[in-house]
Amino acid sequence: MLTESTITTMLPVTDAERAGRFYADSLGLRRTSTGEDGTVYFEAGAGAIGLRPMPDGTQSENTALSFEVGDLDAEVRTLEGRGVRFQDFEADGIKTVGHIADLGKERAAWFNDSEGNVLCLHEVVA
């Protein structure tokens, strides 16, 4: 039952149209619809992302969404070319080099969307 369900990840956004432009133009996702409540929907892998209008301050300080990619370096370069700004940091045993952290069995890079949600790209290392 649930194991066969399509999953829609709902993210809080202050301005759904501004966020929609970021997800379409910067991330390259395809917008599919807008709900009656103003939620903007995008295709994402086998599921979807819904950008739901919410009051300021509802964004999480932790990773809200992570995209698994096959070539992290190439994806970082592509998104940087579209204006995405990746985070660089050294804290809690995690250090980024060229925006990418080596986490053992995976590598990851983090950035914020236009609304302050923390998003991640990650690549599984063989």
Q: What is the 3-state secondary structure (H, E, C) of 43-64?
A: EECCEEEEEEECCCCCCCCCEE
Place of tokens 């809080």: 12
For 59-107, give the DSSP string.
S-SSEEEEEE-S-HHHHHHHHHHTT--B---EETTEEEETTEEE-SSEE
Going by pLDDT thresholds of 50, 70 and 90, the confidence category of residue 5 is confident
Q: What is the mean pLDDT of residues 105-124?
A: 96
- Top-confidence residue, 29 or 3: 29
Place of tokens 């290392």: 125
**Is-contact 89 34, C-beta < 8 A?**
no
Query: Does the predicted model carry a pTM greater than 0.85?
Result: yes
At 93 the pLDDT is 87
Across 22-26, 59-63, 76-80, least confident range = 59-63
Beta bridge partners of 76: none
